[in-house]
Amino acid sequence: MLKDKNIIVTGGSRGIGRAICLKIAEQGGNVAVVYAGNDAAAAETVKEAEKFGVKAVCYKLDVSDFEACKTVVGEITKDFPSIDGLVNNAGVTADTLLLRMTEQDYDKVLNVNLKGTFNMIKHVSPIMLRARKGRIVNMSSVVGLSGNAGQINYSASKAGVVGITKSAAKELAPRGITCNAIAPGFIGTDMTAKLTDAQKDAILQSVPLKRMGDAREVADLAAFLLSDSAAYITGEVIKVDGGLYI
């Protein structure tokens, strides 16, 4: 349970991020909902979280902006008495084959998915180090482990998140801070909604459980890793993929 814990979730307005925010709230935790641009979606996440009787506040932020991350973390510390957990979920895609991929396509995805994860850990970890406790959960992907045609930028960013996770876990462990990653597979979100039925069917043929995952199934794992029950788990990359990457 996460009762009275204060947790930051980036990319918290929709999809997996929203599911994580609501799972935290359901378990009694307060949530700082960090989002990039959809004001209405962020407000809806806050409204839904507050139904559980917890505190929820939204913060607009481009996580790829180092100084902006520092500023927003400072704002969060004024609104919440502690920061007990951080979920780095913010992510973007710009899929295309290598020969068509532009430098802008590559940089945009790496800046949000990878640098954004670094930026938030950089500014939140000193707070956790002083408190001598904390939980960090980073969102990787199965394609960060296996690679995927048409996703060189996304795969690279998510593989980098694995490296950040393991390195941060080693650095922060002496102060009681854990850092783990989740690697979702084919999950029903706005990103996968863009795929055609034929593309979805082709992917599902490779999933042993023969179905798409639900964002709430990822949120369940995130909540566990944020809890006291996961105090002796760190540096791990846990797949939620229906057996896609066995």
Predicted TM-score of the model (pTM) = 0.96
Evaluate if residue 190 carries a pLDDT over 80.
no
**Residue 116 clears pLDDT 80, i.e. is over it:** yes
What pLDDT was estimated at residue 126?
98
Whether 13 shows a pLDDT value over 90: the answer reads yes
Q: What token pair was written down for 6?
A: 């204060």
Q: Is the predicted pLDDT of residue 25 greater than 90, yes or no?
A: yes
What residues are labeled active site? 154
Residue 65 has a pLDDT of 98
Q: Report the mean per-residue pLDDT for the chain.
A: 96
Q: Is residue 143 very low, low, confident or very high in pLDDT (cuts 50, 70, 90)?
A: very high
pLDDT score at 113: 98
Q: How confident is the model at residue 202 (pLDDT cuts 50, 70, 90)?
A: confident
Residues 192-219, mean pLDDT to the nearest whole number:
89
pLDDT for 154-163, tens place per residue? 999 999 999 9
